[in-house]
Amino acid sequence: MGLLSFLMMMAQYKIIYDRKNCIGASSCAILAEKFWTMDKKEDKADLMGAKKTGEDTWELEIDELYLEQNKEAARNCPVAVIKIVDEKGKEVKI
């Protein structure tokens, strides 16, 4: 099996981020720095590459390969503004 075939078989997940309620604790940016960065002007986290889907809600699809580090970011968010759902829309236990 080639790498492309393997990646296509991997489960897909979606990070759903409620930026409006972020308090800027930075734990996500520390734990998953390839996905999260801090906006110093607004003192909030940004989910890099995400699409805005609501008033201040952002979503990003990720592969299973990146699930654990983003679960760690979600688990350590003091205001629980990071959710992860599977390809069926069911929330992933963090």
Angle, alpha carbons 12-94-62 (nearest 5°): 20
pLDDT at 5 over 60: no
Which regions of the chain does DSSP assign to beta strands (E)? 12-18, 36-39, 44-47, 51-52, 57-63, 82-86
- The label of the residue with tokens 């992860």 reads 84
- pLDDT band with cut points at 50, 70 and 90 for residue 16: very high
Q: What CATH number is given for 11-86 in this structure?
A: 3.30.70.20
pLDDT in tens, 67-91: 999 999 999 999 999 999 999 999 9
Strands (DSSP E) found in 19-71: 36-39, 44-47, 51-52, 57-63
The pLDDT tens digits for 24-53 are: 999 999 999 999 999 999 999 999 999 999
**Residue ranges of domains in the chain:** 11-86
SS3 label, residue 67: helix
Q: Tell me, what's the pLDDT at 26?
A: 98
Q: Is residue 84 classed as helix, strand or coil in its secondary structure? A: strand
